[in-house]
Amino acid sequence: MDKLVSTAAAAVADIPDGASLAVGGFGLCGIPVELIRALHARGTTGLDVVSNNCGVDDFGLGVLLADHRIARMTSSYVGENKEFARQFLAGELEVELVPQGTLAERLRAGGAGIPAFYTATGVGTPVAEGGVPLRHSPDGRVETSTPAKEVRHFDVGGDPRPFVLERAITCDYALVHAARGDRHGNLVFHRSARNFNPLCAMAGRITVAEVEELLEPGELDPDEVHLPGVFVQRVVHVGVGVDKRIERRTVRAATG
């Protein structure tokens, strides 16, 4: 039951080249920065990463991307990272763009054992009809693109409406960040840092959680727990001094 691992390096030591990886966070909020750094230091490459976005040029998943450690990204947002755009357009990176709510539900479905689901999101667009670029050739041409997806009509309040079939996502590993966690893997996230972390944790076959505050079993009120330990296989205590950044700091001009 004790899932504590001594270091971030030890927690990611068995992640092989080419592994699929679900990574929590939204922008730079709630990202498992110490686990990402440990994976980068280990030299793991050819990764198939599922995450809302890919960090920024010099932080978060951006450090793996900069060293060409990521072969494929499944994301809903690709801004704030010029290297990401460059690699995609140069044919160095395959990218699957997914509507944000659909990405969240695909991860949740994977963790819940639901193989696929129907959603109205994307009906009548290239999301359903296919043709969204997945990979470019070095000269900028579209080399591969998304296929068309199954669309079915369901009666909604007496009105037949179209829905597109989306498949669940499961990954070999998941990396997440939590504010608090106990040795059994029960996790509590801090406000908006909760974001994609529980969903990614559910979708990983082996989930590694870095926690700022480590608690003993029984210290967490069960009603406080955001993610039960059944979804977590490894816990790493990184402390409260973990590096955190703000993507864009905006202040008002001084008045008076």
Q: How far apart are CA 233 and CA 82, in angstroms?
A: 34
The string of pLDDT tens digits covering residues 3-55 is 999 999 999 999 999 999 999 999 999 999 999 999 999 999 999 999 999 99
Q: What is the pLDDT of residue 114?
A: 98
Decide if 24 contacts 226 (C-beta within 8 A).
no
Give how many domains the chain has, as a whole number. Answer: 2
Q: What is the pLDDT of residue 80?
A: 80
Residue 17 in tokens: 């080249």
* CATH number of the domain enclosing 79: 3.40.1080.10
User: Are residues 81 and 2 part of one domain?
Assistant: yes
User: Are residues 216 and 91 part of one domain?
Assistant: yes
Decide if 234 contacts 38 (C-beta within 8 A).
no
Decide if 46 contacts 69 (C-beta within 8 A).
yes
The model's confidence at residue 210, banded by pLDDT at 50, 70 and 90, is: very high
User: Are residues 44 and 2 part of one domain?
Assistant: yes
Decide if 163 contacts 152 (C-beta within 8 A).
yes
Query: Looking at the domain assignment, is residue 178 inside a domain?
Result: no
The string of pLDDT tens digits covering residues 105-132 is 999 999 999 999 999 999 999 999 999 9
Strands annotated E in 2-114: 4-5, 20-23, 47-50, 70-75, 94-97
The string of pLDDT tens digits covering residues 151-187 is 999 999 899 999 999 999 999 999 999 999 999 999 9
Query: Looking at the domain assignment, is residue 185 inside a domain?
Result: no
Q: What is the pLDDT of residue 179?
A: 98
Whether the model pTM is above 0.85? yes
Return contacts of 78-86, CB within 8 angstroms, 24+ apart: 78/53, 78/54, 79/53, 80/27, 80/53, 80/56, 80/247, 81/53, 81/54, 81/55, 81/56, 81/57, 82/57, 83/57, 84/54
User: Are residues 129 and 81 part of one domain?
Assistant: no
What percent of the chain stands above pLDDT 90? Answer: 92
* Enclosing domain of residue 6: 1-99+111-115+202-240
- How far, in Å, are 79, 180, 188 from residue 217 at the CA level? 40, 12, 13
Q: What is the mean pLDDT of residues 192-200?
A: 98
C-alpha dihedral sign at 23, 24, 28, 32: negative
Residue 226 in tokens: 């955001």
User: Are residues 121 and 95 part of one domain?
Assistant: no
Chain mean pLDDT for the chain: 96
User: Are residues 163 and 212 part of one domain?
Assistant: no
Secondary structure (DSSP) of 203-220:
HEEEEEEEEEEEE-TT-S
Residue 118 in tokens: 């129907």
CA dihedral 80, 85, 87, 92 (to 10 degrees): 120
